[in-house]
Amino acid sequence: MTGSTGRTGKTGKETVLGRVRDALAIAPPAPVTVPREYRTGTEMPSRQRIALLAERLRDYRASVHECRAADTAATIAGVLGSARRIGCPAGLPPDWLAETGAEIRVDGPETSVAELDALDAVVTGSAVSCAETGTIFLDAGPDQGRRALTLVPDVHVCVVDASSVVAGVPEAIARLEPARPITLISGPSATSDIELERVEGVHGPRTLVVVLRPDR
């Protein structure tokens, strides 16, 4: 069975296939070199980057606590207060939670969403942070765990080292492996309806606590 013919004597199918062949015969455009000389802020001193990141995070309603590396465990215990069930990825340094006095549940593939939802808080590390945008990047590294671990519990305590804080987005992206699952965090999860009423905790933690460590 053939299709109807037009004035050219060709069927509709022949016309469409002819156009496809004509399009494929067109030489591809010459490759274009895209300049990648993005503006960077590598000259920004470390202390300035830390201060700017803390300022941006507080603007986003995150709680920020600076501490020395030696005081990490005490700081985390202090911000968690009376939390009884704390989740963490398998690669989190165990001494970070040594002073909490809580039940520690190490996350794994077998951990259900209901079990994650029952946690009072989760504690993780971070991959890199951008000072200019106040954004923390997670890449599912051993001290960060899978995405569900940082999205389901209502409180997320995230440890950020000064050495991982860069000035701008280009520097942050350069430190990441594109093939890894990337989660970007800029304050607690929040959204606004048509009347601009802010609602927190809709698609992630209602509370974000950032522990900034100027030294390792």
Burial of 212 (0-12, 13-18, 19+ CB in 10 A): buried
pLDDT tens-place string over residues 204-215: 788 999 999 986
Q: How far apart are CA 208 and CA 123, in angstroms?
A: 10
Q: State the Cα–Cα distance between residues 164 and 128, nearest whole angstrom.
A: 5
Task: Over range 6-33, report the average pLDDT.
Answer: 79
Which pLDDT score, from 0 to 100, does residue 44 have?
82
Instruction: Give me 151's structure tokens.
Output: 């999205």
Cβ atoms of 158 and 67 closer than 8 Å = no
Cα 104 from Cα 12, distance rounded (Å): 68
Give me the domains of the chain, ranges plus CATH numbers.
46-213 (3.40.50.10420)
Q: Locate 7 and state its tokens.
A: 């004035």
Q: What one-character DSSP code corresponds to residue 175?
A: T
- Mean pLDDT estimate for the chain: 87
> pLDDT for 105-161, tens place per residue?
999 999 999 999 999 999 999 999 999 999 999 999 999 999 999 999 999 999 999
